[in-house]
Structure 1
Amino acid sequence: MEIINFLIAFAVAFLVVSKILPRLYGVRKGEEIPPANKEIEEAKNKGDFFMIYFSTPSCGACKRMEPTINKLKKRYKVVKVDASKEKDVAKAYRVLGVPMLVLVKGDKVASSFMGIKSEKEILNKISSL
């Protein structure tokens, strides 16, 4: 009987983690980007490809990601959002951790990343869009 209870608990936990949790984290591909700050709205209204980079000043991973973001800014429009100051924007994009990068094409989410990513990883994703 104990093994059955364990298996039921495991199955429920698996469902929660695999089905429900991903829906809570970040905006999803194909989802229309939510209204946000002025800079995001301006970039969205142009209808071009752009990126939204969420970070905080106290985030060590964000500091390591900064040189990559600065390189990307030379080629693409990147809107930086301080998630500690613009909490309403971070909440609208369901940012649960930083750094987070959202790739936007037109007014739709094309992809999103959380954590440190190399310039090559990001460029590969951009080229596949």
Structure 2
Amino acid sequence: MSDEELESIRQQKRDELAAKIEGEASEGGKSPGVPSEPVYVNGAEAFEDTVSKYDVVLVDFYADWCGPCKMLEPTVERLAAETDAAIVKVDIDQNQQLAMQYQVRGVPTVMLFSDGQPAERLVGVRGYDDYERLIDSLLA
């Protein structure tokens, strides 16, 4: 195989990869770099890094033993896949200091952060549309 043929194949592969990445970004409606799955964080430092990294972050404070938290899980996963917000999950049993810092008194508690600062708080389970509307209002 000649050098020209190898370079042609390499360029074709680069073009295919770029098209695939572009297609995935537009297909899912996600901005590049925003995770399409919930990010589980453990510890204050990881939390602060993640919240400050993205424009809009929805934080789901949950507990494994919480029935309503389990009901909210499919909604949170869908929000991660379909919106331009980063979705962060915080287990309050593993991160009691974070729960205290953000005054989480009941679960599930969902907080929205905009530019690293708390913007909204919802306690209890809500519908997908409620969360999506809040995310969209912060992205606008």
**TM-score normalised according to structure 2 size:** 0.62
Deviation at 1:43, TM superposition (A): 2.0
Q: Distance in 1 between matches of 2:44 and 2:134?
A: 25
Match of residue 71 from structure 1: 78
Q: Where does the alignment leave 5 or more consecutive residues of structure 2 unmatched?
A: 1-42
Deviation at 1:54, TM superposition (A): 0.3
Percent same amino acid among aligned pairs? 30
Q: Distance in 1 between matches of 2:60 and 2:68?
A: 13
The number of equivalent residue pairs is 94
Match of residue 19 from structure 2: none
Please show how residues 1-129 of structure 1 align to structure 2 within 5 Å. Answer: 37-74=44-81, 75=83, 76-129=85-138
Q: Which has the higher contact order (CA 8 A, sep 6+)?
A: 1
- Over 3 Å counting, the alpha-carbon distance change for 1:92 and 1:49 in structure 2 is same
Moved over 6 A (4+): none
Deviation at 1:37, TM superposition (A): 2.0
Cα RMSD for the two superposed structures: 1.5
- 1:59-95, Cα deviation, whole Å (9 max, x unpaired): 0000000000111111331111001121111000000
Q: Distance in 1 between matches of 2:125 and 2:72?
A: 6
Q: Distance in 2 between matches of 1:128 and 1:48?
A: 12
**TM-score normalised according to structure 1 size:** 0.67
- The 8 Å contact of residues 39 and 79 in structure 1, kept in 2 or not, is answered as no
Q: Distance in 2 between matches of 1:66 and 1:98?
A: 12
Task: Specify the code of the residue in structure 2 equivalent to 1:56.
Answer: A
- The 8 Å contact of residues 61 and 115 in structure 1, kept in 2 or not, is answered as yes
